[in-house]
Amino acid sequence: MTANESLPKIGSRLKRIQKVSRIFRNIFLACALVFGLLGLMGMYYALCIGYAVEFLLAYRLFHYYAQGDLFTPKVVRYLRWIGITSILLGIWNVSHEVCMAVGGGFLKYPTTSHWDIMSWFQQILYLFIFNFLPGFIIIFAAWIMDEGRKIQEEQELTV
């Protein structure tokens, strides 16, 4: 099999990626609009605006995927920003939880039950798992994509 015979298979895969990316792009745009409107209406203002920004970044990322740009520096940049936004949302969520607990006297008075304190720590753990961890994993995946692209460019220059 020559290199030219494998081109139709690659083209069909790219078209499939582009088709699915257009669907996700539209979903992310709708989510960004919904969270943006919720934030502007005053419902969890900073949190909803943060999620709207994250969905807009995902919309831009999938816009490039829909165009067929899979491993370009633009894609890596948007992946990094999505990871950073996820980490910033995690910081906001954890600090909001701590401020609410301190402001409500939850951590101040020793009369709170053992189960309330465990529940609060469980909430902090969930915020860590669903914000910090995915953010770091996304940034790590972006780094791997960027390094892979650089390795491929170096190999093309040496051939």
Instruction: Please name the residue that has the structure tokens 């069909």.
Output: 12
CA distance linking residue 48 with residue 55, whole number of Å: 10
CA distance linking residue 142 with residue 82, whole number of Å: 10
pLDDT of residue 1: 46
SS3 90: helix
pLDDT digit string (tens) for 34-93?
Answer: 999 998 888 778 888 999 999 999 999 999 999 988 889 999 999 999 999 999 998 988
CA distance linking residue 128 with residue 135, whole number of Å: 10
pLDDT digit string (tens) for 104-137?
Answer: 666 555 555 666 667 778 888 888 888 899 999 9
Q: Where are the domains of the chain?
A: 1-66, 71-159
Most confident of 9-13, 44-48, 90-94, 146-150: 146-150
50-58, Cβ contacts within 8 angstroms, sequence gap of 24 or more: 50/85, 50/88, 50/89, 50/92, 51/89, 53/85, 54/82, 54/85, 54/86, 54/89, 55/28, 55/29, 55/31, 56/28, 56/29, 56/32, 57/81, 57/82, 57/85, 58/24, 58/28, 58/82
Which parts of the chain are beta strand (E)? none
CA distance linking residue 129 with residue 99, whole number of Å: 20
pTM strictly above 0.85: no
Most confident of 79-88, 96-105, 146-155: 79-88
